[in-house]
Structure 1
Amino acid sequence: MSDEKLIIYQVFTRLFGNNNNHCINNGSITENGCGKMADFTAKALGEIKKLGATHIWYTGIIEHATQTDYRRYNIRPDHPAIVKGKAGSPYAIKDYYDVDPDLAKDVPERMREFENLVQRTHRSGLKVIIDFVPNHVARQYHSDMQPDGTSQLGANDDTDYAFSPYNNFYYIPQSELHGQFDMKGAAAEPYKEFPAKATGNNRFDAYPNINDWYETVKLNYGVDYQNGGTCHFNPIPDTWNKMLDILMFWAEKHIDGFRCDMAEMVPVEFWEWAIPQVKAKYPALLFIAEVYNPKEYGNYLFRGKFDYLYDKVGLYDTLRAIVCGNESATAITRAWQSLGGIEKRMLNFLENHDEQRIASDFFASNPRKAIPALIVSACMNVNPMMIYFGQEFGELGMDSEGFSGRDGRTTIFDYWSVDTIRRWRNGGKFDGKMLTDNQKHLYGIYQRILTLCNEEKAISQGDFFDLMYANINGWRFNEHKQYTFLRKYGRDLLLFVVNFDHISADLAINIPSHAFDFLQIPQMEQYRAVDLLTGKEENISLLPYKATEISVEGYSGKILKIKL
């Protein structure tokens, strides 16, 4: 682990550079356009770095199923019934060894364009993360770019068996797929699959419905789910070797990390076997796991050898509930304590492609409401923080794009353009001329908080002390609406106070003697403190027997820096 705090900027690659401001619902690539890898110019990457980012996660790089016809480039078409949206889901991988043709200016040169993107990103001082989708593939998976000497997934499967440790897929023998969804789509003939394969979300029958991951098929890592989940890992299952090849293929492209989709749906034994082999050759490569089951966290970190795990069901859900007024700020303490010491290995976020936008009607409807949550999420520990492109401008996510309805999310299935990103890019000029004052103001707050994460060693490397236990039932402190903690490194002490309430608060914060001992803080009647968010100075006292008085505006916070 480096001393740098990871700030990951997740960007949905195909949407970033699309300038079309009159996209139509369910429009084709010809009608709505599509952003390209080339839109990440040196200027664009410089602007992303300026926000405080250290890493950029290019979402949707690997070739996936789509309704766009690329036959003239020898890419097999997909049946529209098993593609979600005109553009298709980036998580229905069609060729693990190829780059999505939508993203290339010159389709035959798509891999070279990706390699150039990696180089440009590195030159701008950012590191590259891409998706690895290990649990499922598109129903019509077919690799055109498979390296010599390797065989197609499923090529040697014995389809008479529902499960065989030698198969890459799971089958429903003697059954045709009868999806409870439109099996015809826009095609003349319905989609046919015989024998039916098990669906990506562990559905082992021939009748997936519209709410299933019906466009994907589950990969077989040697677990016989229909017979009590018995494991057949010796000899090493064929799927393991194929997936290790794929990881090595992309690692050779000089990327810096993988965000592993639904990692907990793949047995931890696979990761335990694969990750050390990749790291033996590429020791600095990061592995981030999307996991949602806290009971499995230790397993995936310590056995599975992941560097970081998503903190979704803990901190994200907690902060979202507090921002929406459904939970007390005291729950933040419970969230980090429940991690039992692994909090430094958790990836914090308030938005990503799966979650609803903060500014949407489904979450906070006002992006300013989440500023206290942003300060907590980004600054309470040394672990990584991720933001989703457009979050820094208060992107609404309230478009009705096509397959993705009006759901508060930015679509991952449709050809579309993101309003705030289009305004910010302004045709590649990034001059801010098209942004509203509110968008500029919000961006300024994000940039300040995210850049502080690495400017202040107390945030990127320092100790953490939660002050909440000393402020429950406070005389001038509402523990349900305010949260406070300390960070310290060397002689730098940072006092954080955030206010989730809409009205400003004059607070009296108790700092217990244990904090003075633990962090070795000299007691003083008067310290000069600078609020790192505004640059304003104030005098505060730091004494165990006298409350520290601080005022905080609504939906806001203070980061007071004291030189000891």
Structure 2
Amino acid sequence: MKKILLVFMGLSVFLSCKKEAEKPEQVVDADTTALAPLTDEVMENAVIYEANIRQYSEEGSFKSFTKDIPKLKELGVKILWVMPIYPISTTKSKGSLGSYYAISDYTKVNPEFGSLEDFRQLVKTAHDNGIYVILDWVANHTGWDHVWLKEHPEYYTKDEAGNITHTVGTDWTDVADLNYDNTEMREQMISDMLYWVKEEKIDGFRCDVAGMVPVDFWEKAISTLKKEKPVFMLAEAWEPELQDNAFDMGYGWDTHHKMNDIAKGKENIEAWDHRMAQIDSMYDADDILMNFTSNHDENSWNGTVFERMGDGAEAFAALTYCAPGMPLIYSGQEYDMNKRLLFFEKDTIIKTKGRFYDIYKKLGQLKNNNAALNGGKKAASYKRISTSDKEHVLAFERQKDGRQLIYLANLSDAQVTTTVDHEGVFKNYMTGEEISLEKDKEYHLEPWEYIIYVND
């Protein structure tokens, strides 16, 4: 019996070893898989994704989100913006969970989302999938539990009675306003930002209400960060001066508002043309603006894409990719999310693929691979194409490096007939069908119908 047992054990070991030999453990050399430094070229054809960790899954955790990072790669995402991950102040907090933007410690993670090690795995997984990670940074204010309030009250803005105040002119009563006249606070702020770049290997920041913080602070902070490594900096602001010597990209707020107004019938295509002319006059050629149909503020406070844009949601989504700039996907948009996510409470995005997942996937491939959609510091050209319906039909051409793309859309809720002052043979990118444009030909476009013409 003992011999039989020994033979059986030997056979088990042999089979086990054979199985392991068939599927060897993969030891990855970190140096060979490290993500290349972020360059201007990455910005040209990138899609950015805003991750709302709390609401992304039922668990609301780093781990649950990390599992889906390969799906972001499938959508063409190259930059992952993670909403604030830091511990949330409970003093004067709003709702049962409080705001992500009322931070109690800049160098720790919110245990609601998991551990620091969980976050490190998120960053590693993103990098392994060719995606850069930027953290949401809140430099204008802290939560009322932040250690600075006890140890450095001089870091904060005070009223005439000497009391620390929330930001004047806002209803942000859950946060204490920082005083940028204090140079020591500025240095500590930069040091805390540098921690995430040096120690946690992140690739930049999206900076909350950046226009409310002095420009000279951003210039010094970002210069310091870029001495450590190339970083991508997104300002939640429209002010052109923030991109002169500091940020890589700002918000296309006015572009977004024009799209909302056109969708609601309050404005027409003339408003779009005025906005494009405004961008040309206000911004330098190498400035980048972020295009979006939604984000965490718009969704929670102003309504879902479908509330604001109705049946035009797809046409405007395509426009954010085809217009100059970088397109944003907010958590849940790829799953046709049609609800306002709660901001101070737990809520959950239902991740069921519907109409938009494949649309974003296809648009992402186009953005990533067609130079005619380059939208960075050396963007493709933008040229308006005339149509006979100047109120409802938008047509423009983008070109770069021999690549050509035309966006044609009926941005109204009624069928239109129009001519287009352009000609050539193209492919309808979304359907793959060969299609011609002829100058004198009349085209019938259904409500909110759009076509993306490409020359390959």
TM-score range, shorter chain: 0.7 to 0.9
Unaligned runs of 5+ in 2: 1-39
Q: CA deviation at 1:12?
A: 0.6
Structure 1 residues 537 and 504, CA gap change in structure 2 (3 angstroms) = farther
What secondary structure sits across from 2:220 in the alignment? helix
Q: Which residue of 2 aligns with 1:38?
A: 63
Equivalent AA in structure 2 for residue 345 of structure 1: I
2:57 corresponds, among 17, 28, 52, to: 17
What secondary structure sits across from 1:369 in the alignment? helix
Equivalent AA in structure 2 for residue 50 of structure 1: E
Q: CA deviation at 1:335?
A: 0.8
1:2 corresponds, among 41, 44, 54, to: 41
Asked whether the 8 Å contact 1:315–1:335 carries over to 2, the reply is yes
Structure 1 residues 414 and 8, CA gap change in structure 2 (3 angstroms) = same
1:466 corresponds, among 369, 383, 391, to: 383
1:291 corresponds, among 229, 237, 244, to: 237
For residues 480-505 of structure 1, the C-alpha deviation after alignment (integer angstroms, 9 at most, x for no partner) is: 22100011223332221011123444
Asked whether the 8 Å contact 1:41–1:120 carries over to 2, the reply is yes
What secondary structure sits across from 1:497 in the alignment? strand
Q: CA deviation at 1:244?
A: 0.6
Q: 1:134-533 alignment to 2 at 5 Å? A: 134-142=139-147, 152=148, 155-157=151-153, 167-172=154-159, 174=161, 196-199=163-166, 201-202=167-168, 212-222=171-181, 237-252=183-198, 253-282=200-229, 284-292=230-238, 297-303=239-245, 305-312=246-253, 314-339=254-279, 340=281, 341-342=283-284, 344-356=287-299, 359=304, 362-364=307-309, 366=310, 368-381=311-324, 383-397=325-339, 409-419=340-350, 421=351, 424=352, 435=353, 440-460=354-374, 463-468=380-385, 470-471=386-387, 474=388, 478-511=389-422, 527-533=424-430
What secondary structure sits across from 1:446 in the alignment? helix
Q: CA deviation at 1:8?
A: 0.8
Q: Which residue of 2 aligns with 1:233?
A: none
Asked whether the 8 Å contact 1:12–1:59 carries over to 2, the reply is yes
What secondary structure sits across from 2:357 in the alignment? helix
Q: TM-score of the superposition, structure 2-length normalised?
A: 0.83
Structure 1 residues 358 and 169, CA gap change in structure 2 (3 angstroms) = closer
In structure 2, what is the Cα distance between the partners aligned to 1:464 and 1:38?
41
Asked whether the 8 Å contact 1:358–1:391 carries over to 2, the reply is no
For residues 230-289 of structure 1, the C-alpha deviation after alignment (integer angstroms, 9 at most, x for no partner) is: xxxxxx71111011101101111111120000111111111122211111112x201111
For residues 174-222 of structure 1, the C-alpha deviation after alignment (integer angstroms, 9 at most, x for no partner) is: 5xxxxxxxxxxxxxxxxxxxx63110x225xxxxxxx710010000101
Equivalent AA in structure 1 for residue 222 of structure 2: I
Structure 1 residues 464 and 358, CA gap change in structure 2 (3 angstroms) = farther
Instruction: State yes or no: 1:89 paired with 2:99.
Output: yes
For residues 470-521 of structure 1, the C-alpha deviation after alignment (integer angstroms, 9 at most, x for no partner) is: 43xx2xxx2222100011223332221011123444431114xxxxxxxxxx
Unaligned runs of 5+ in 1: 19-33, 66-77, 105-109, 143-151, 158-166, 175-194, 204-210, 223-235, 398-408, 425-434, 512-523
In structure 1, what is the Cα distance between the partners aligned to 2:308 and 2:437?
36
2:109 corresponds, among 99, 105, 108, to: 99
Structure 1 residues 286 and 487, CA gap change in structure 2 (3 angstroms) = same
Structure 1 residues 491 and 49, CA gap change in structure 2 (3 angstroms) = same
What secondary structure sits across from 1:258 in the alignment? strand
In structure 2, what is the Cα distance between the partners aligned to 1:255 and 1:529?
41
What secondary structure sits across from 2:87 in the alignment? strand
Equivalent AA in structure 2 for residue 385 of structure 1: P
Asked whether the 8 Å contact 1:88–1:413 carries over to 2, the reply is yes
Q: Which residue of 2 aligns with 1:562?
A: 455
In structure 2, what is the Cα distance between the partners aligned to 1:490 and 1:453?
15
What secondary structure sits across from 1:2 in the alignment? helix
For residues 68-92 of structure 1, the C-alpha deviation after alignment (integer angstroms, 9 at most, x for no partner) is: xxxxxxxxxx34xx11111110000
In structure 2, what is the Cα distance between the partners aligned to 1:361 and 1:288?
26
In structure 2, what is the Cα distance between the partners aligned to 1:172 and 1:536?
65
Equivalent AA in structure 2 for residue 39 of structure 1: S
For residues 282-327 of structure 1, the C-alpha deviation after alignment (integer angstroms, 9 at most, x for no partner) is: 2x201111115xxxx2321114x11111111x20000110011110
* RMSD, aligned CA: 2.2
What secondary structure sits across from 2:257 in the alignment? helix
Asked whether the 8 Å contact 2:55–2:341 carries over to 1, the reply is no
Structure 1 residues 467 and 299, CA gap change in structure 2 (3 angstroms) = closer
What secondary structure sits across from 2:51 in the alignment? strand
Equivalent AA in structure 1 for residue 231 of structure 2: L
Structure 1 residues 156 and 390, CA gap change in structure 2 (3 angstroms) = closer
May I ask how many residue pairs the two structures share in their alignment? Answer: 407
What secondary structure sits across from 2:269 in the alignment? coil
In structure 2, what is the Cα distance between the partners aligned to 1:454 and 1:374?
16
Structure 1 residues 244 and 333, CA gap change in structure 2 (3 angstroms) = same
Equivalent AA in structure 1 for residue 151 of structure 2: A
In structure 2, what is the Cα distance between the partners aligned to 1:360 and 1:509?
29
In structure 1, what is the Cα distance between the partners aligned to 2:356 and 2:117?
37
Asked whether the 8 Å contact 2:381–2:400 carries over to 1, the reply is no
For residues 318-344 of structure 1, the C-alpha deviation after alignment (integer angstroms, 9 at most, x for no partner) is: 011001111011211211211224474
Structure 1 residues 328 and 359, CA gap change in structure 2 (3 angstroms) = same
What secondary structure sits across from 2:408 in the alignment? strand
In structure 2, what is the Cα distance between the partners aligned to 1:392 and 1:51?
9
Q: CA deviation at 1:131?
A: 0.6
Structure 1 residues 449 and 552, CA gap change in structure 2 (3 angstroms) = farther
What secondary structure sits across from 1:529 in the alignment? strand
In structure 1, what is the Cα distance between the partners aligned to 2:346 and 2:142?
21
Q: Which residue of 1 aligns with 2:14?
A: none
Q: CA deviation at 1:450?
A: 2.5
In structure 1, what is the Cα distance between the partners aligned to 2:344 and 2:176?
18
Structure with bigger helix share is 2
1:121 corresponds, among 115, 122, 126, to: 126
Structure 1 residues 360 and 373, CA gap change in structure 2 (3 angstroms) = closer
